[in-house]
Chain A
Amino acid sequence: MRTLTIDQVDDLALGATLLGTGGGGDPYVARLMLRQAINTYGPVTIADPHELPADGLVMTVAVVGAPTVLLEKIPAGTEFIASIEALASYLGRDPVALMPIEVGGLNTLLPLAVATEMGLPVIDADGMRRAFPQIEMTVFTLAGIKCSPMSVADEKGNLCVFETNTNQLGETLVRGAVMSLTLANAFSSYSMTVAEVEAHAIAGSVTYCTELGARLSAVQRGESGAYDRFLEFAEGRVIFSGVITDVHRETTQGFSKGTVTIEARDGTERSMKVAIQNEFLVAWENDRPVVTVPDLICILDAETATPITTETLRYGQRVNVVAMPCAPEWHRDGMLEVVGPKAFGFDLDYVRVGA
């Protein structure tokens, strides 16, 4: 086992912002929570599956709610512990480790803050290694692992535990519970054994995220050769460079949808459109799809290498569009039904980075 110290929090947060692919929730508050938790309870213990008992229980913990509410209602910390304890009590076993459901966006950092307070390790794995908007969009769903039973808790002692037959219905019930519990809550789900984590989860994603953030940070500091080292590590490529010439947004059914248009400034007529549904999902160059989900599309400010989120897209920004392959663990039967372009309503086939 190893420890994640306060010095690595900023790299982890930067990596999480990048893997948020434009969404995933701003890790700002989660970063402050993790810093406070490490200062109070000590560094976070990170474990690989083989360092834990194979039959030990692991569960995920995350924040769920409306982003605008989370701006005002900062977590207490206790709601996460309550959701974990409720699920443990329901299952009749205590967890030996916690796990992020998604390494991408704010839910990357949050389990680490909770784990150090509870004195538990965080298992170095997750279910997405990017951000997705719905709970069932995990590699666990591909492996037939249920998110049920699940628990939702608030900071005042209100909580519920429930079971569902499908992970899709689990998503629906969590949203319903959160509507009644003031839109800023904790939820725990996807309880499984360490052996199941080892067999099915995306391995090493917390470390990957920290390393990725460290390499992007080097780019931001302007270190020579850093962009190449960053892309090499991410197995990514810059698929387009240009200026944002249009940002179109609409909010439908609670999701923020839209498109961003980027035009080249190299004398050619090339342009790129990127579809937004909370995250960046599909990139077209001159109307030809060049990358789709589940591969990652990230937009970086061309000068500062700051990952640009869907809320901060603006006309005139000079940007690089970076595409990165999704974690190899995604490439299993059923992937396209769960997180392919059609799962988001696009009548498109999956286009891999570099295809």
Chain B
Amino acid sequence: MLRLGMDVGGTNTDAVLVDDEGQVMASHKAPTTPDPLDGISAAISAVSVVADVSQIRRAMLGTTHSANAIIQRKGLGRVAVLRLAAPSSLAVSPGADWPDDLRQSVISDVAIIEGGYEYDGRVIAELDEAAVRRFSEAAARSGALAVSCAFSPANFEHELRVAEIIASELGDDFPVSLSHRVGTLGLLERENATILNSALLQVSRAVVDGLNNALRENGIEALSYITQNDGTLMTSQQALEMPVLSLGSGPTNSMRGACSLAGLSDAIVVDVGGTSTDVGILVDGFPRESAAAVYVGGVRTNFRMPDLISMGLGGGTIVRTEGTGVAVGPDSVGYRVTEEALVSGGEILTLSDVSVAGGRLTGFGDPARVEELDSSTIEQSLLWVDEHLASHCERMKASRQAMPLLAVGGGAHLVPGRVPGTSEVIRPHHYEVANAFGAAISEASGTVDRVYQYGSSSREECLESARAEALEAAVAAGADPGQARVTSVVEVPMTYVPGGGCRVQVKAAGPLGD
């Protein structure tokens, strides 16, 4: 069985074909096309020529489609927003903190109605079912409904009841996003993510249809998956309902790909692209997650995203001389580095030129075109690169202990052979397509999300049964039974009194089996 991994980034579209042993059989890297689906189709053609296409049975895509749709405000659907929390929360309306243009293009109607829960599981107010029915007209006009509810991560009966009422009013197919399925504690952030999920449904439909068409056109009959922020896979059917969960999958894929290519599970990963560099940290093979609020297109969310530091440092970053000093970036020629850099025959001094002149990059362009470059310019620029990389690596570390550094991405040549605070610098084979490789090795996952009463049985028994069920769900989703394992356990106490309930979320994952 072969796996096809794809990654659509801001600069490049990458694809790899991976065999049973995890070996890369073919890889492809090309600039991302104006319609990214064209680039996906071309990438699939390029890598699938080396193999018997009937052997390609799994296809995984990580893509910036959704993130770009939000950032560029393109292709987003209209959403009606219903919050179950009144009389609490009236002092801050849904969407209050959104950038005006995004709010106007996405949020059509909002209502805060009676319902929702206290921290201890009591209701703030009984759900106002008549108000839900009335609001269904607004939902029907918008085409999608997002529902948030106070303390729904611990108690989601009211959200489920709203979904039932809307199904009875508008039909089972009417798209309803419920906040407890999208995010964790933090009403406004979870509500924002739920609204974005509803707004992205059409974008997700286009991506899934486009991917499946591209596979068909190339004669590939594979199960198709979309990668999620946490490095696991959604079936394309799930992706149609929960597109927001794939918003930050690019960096995750890149980091997991890097770790697998290098055969390490704990490392600092430095992903150098054409325009920017992300520095993240892998613990046990998964990216460490961010504790701070994550902003997407100006909207505050509480997604569990990889904890990354980004900086304007890439192969296309522009270098300017100022008197006897140099100024590096933050602007970049991006993917046009293959035309505009000095070594490419262009007129712009970029970090790739400096890298060639400094001996870090070989086999790119014409080195003769940078022979005349002032040696002090080269030294100062590389010093700038080295200092920024070292300081960002230091910031990412959780302790003073030195860790290996994995350098990946098209601009990985810029990373020097030694970085202070790291034990060694490793550039794994195929480092330039680590992200597509990360998509290819993404794992199937299963989750259990249920309220347990610790009073009636012990906490350990409850957690054990939740773990077992999550593992079964992961296997049912395609994970290899021999390799599936529990990857996260989150407990949200519903009440602070003894004998009370606790929401337990367990996630299990494992590599895809046959």
Q: A residues within 8 Å of B by Cβ?
A: 29, 32-33, 35-37, 66, 68-69, 71-78, 113, 155-156, 182-184, 243, 245, 311-312, 314-318
Contacts and interface: CB of A to CB of B under 8 A. Distances in A.
Given A73-B89, A182-B120, A32 B97 contact: yes
A41 B202 CA distance: 38
B392 to A, nearest CB: 9
B156 interface: no
Interface string B372-405: 0000000000000000000100111111100000
B90 A318 contact: no
B151 A72 contact: yes
A73 B119 contact: yes
Interface stretch (B166-174, B182-190, B316-324): B182-190
A156 B89 contact: no
Given A37-B91, A72-B151, 17 more contacts: A29-B92, A32-B92, A32-B97, A69-B119, A72-B185, A73-B118, A74-B85, A75-B88, A76-B90, A182-B118, A243-B394, A311-B291, A312-B291, A315-B398, A315-B399, A316-B396, A316-B398
B91 A72 contact: no
Given A156-B87, A182-B119, A71 B395 contact: no
Contacts of B25: none
B120 A317 contact: no
A156 B188 CA distance: 21
A338 B465 CA distance: 51
A316 B150 contact: no
A47 B27 CA distance: 69
A182 B186 CA distance: 16
Nearest to A244: B395
Given A68-B185, A72-B119, A182-B119, A36 B92 contact: yes
A36 B397 contact: no
A311 B293 CA distance: 12
B28 to A, nearest CB: 37
Q: Which of B86, B92, B187, B394 neighbours the largest number of chain A CB atoms within 10 Å of its CB?
A: B92
Contact of B96 (A32, A113, A184): A32
A73 B187 CA distance: 7
Interface in B399-414: 399-400
The size bracket of the interface on B is: 20 to 34
A35 B93 CA distance: 11
B150 A73 contact: yes
17 contacts: A32-B96, A68-B185, A72-B151, A72-B185, A73-B124, A73-B150, A73-B187, A76-B89, A76-B90, A76-B91, A77-B90, A155-B88, A156-B87, A182-B118, A245-B400, A312-B291, A316-B394
Contacts of A71: 185-187
Interface of B: 85-93, 96-97, 118-120, 122, 124-125, 150-151, 185-188, 291-292, 391, 394-400
A109 B452 CA distance: 39
Q: What are the nearest 3 A-B pairs in CB distance?
A: A74-B89, A77-B91, A316-B395
Contacts of B291: 311-312, 314
Contacts of A37: 91
A76 B85 CA distance: 9
Contacts of A155: 87-88
Contacts of B91: 33, 36-37, 74-77, 113
Nearest to A34: B91
Contacts of A35: 96
Contacts of A316: 394-398
Nearest to B189: A71
Contacts of A29: 92, 188
A105 B291 CA distance: 20
Contact of B88 (A184, A243, A311, A314): A184
A308 to B, nearest CB: 11
Given A243-B394, A245-B400, A316-B397, A66 B119 contact: yes
Q: Which of A33, A37, A72, A314 neighbours the largest number of chain B CB atoms within 10 Å of its CB?
A: A72
Nearest to B307: A314
A314 to B, nearest CB: 8
Contacts of A314: 291
A318 B119 contact: no
Given A78-B87, A312-B292, A72 B186 contact: yes
Contacts of B96: 32, 35-36
A99 B118 CA distance: 29
A180 B93 CA distance: 27
Contacts of B185: 68, 71-72
Given A36-B92, A315-B399, A316-B396, A74 B187 contact: yes
Contacts of B397: 315-316
A35 B88 CA distance: 18
Contact of A75 (B89, B118, B186): B89
A282 to B, nearest CB: 24
Nearest to B86: A76
Nearest to A154: B88
Nearest to A77: B91
A243 B187 CA distance: 33
Contacts of A184: 88
A75 B398 CA distance: 36
B373 to A, nearest CB: 30
Nearest to A35: B96
B304 to A, nearest CB: 16
A243 B120 CA distance: 40
Given A32-B96, A73-B119, A318 B395 contact: yes
Q: Which of A75, A76, A312 neighbours the largest number of chain B CB atoms within 10 Å of its CB?
A: A76
A191 B398 CA distance: 48
Nearest to B398: A315
A226 to B, nearest CB: 20
Given A78-B87, A155-B87, A72 B187 contact: yes
B359 to A, nearest CB: 29
A161 to B, nearest CB: 21
Contact of A72 (B86, B97, B150): B150
A319 B187 CA distance: 31
A75 B188 CA distance: 12
A15 B395 CA distance: 26
Q: Which of A71, A75, A78, A316 neighbours the largest number of chain B CB atoms within 10 Å of its CB?
A: A316
Q: Which of A33, A37, A74 neighbours the largest number of chain B CB atoms within 10 Å of its CB?
A: A74
A155 B90 CA distance: 10
Contacts of A311: 291
Contacts of A315: 397-399
A315 B288 CA distance: 13
A288 B474 CA distance: 55
Contacts of A66: 119
Contacts of B398: 315-316
Nearest to B191: A74
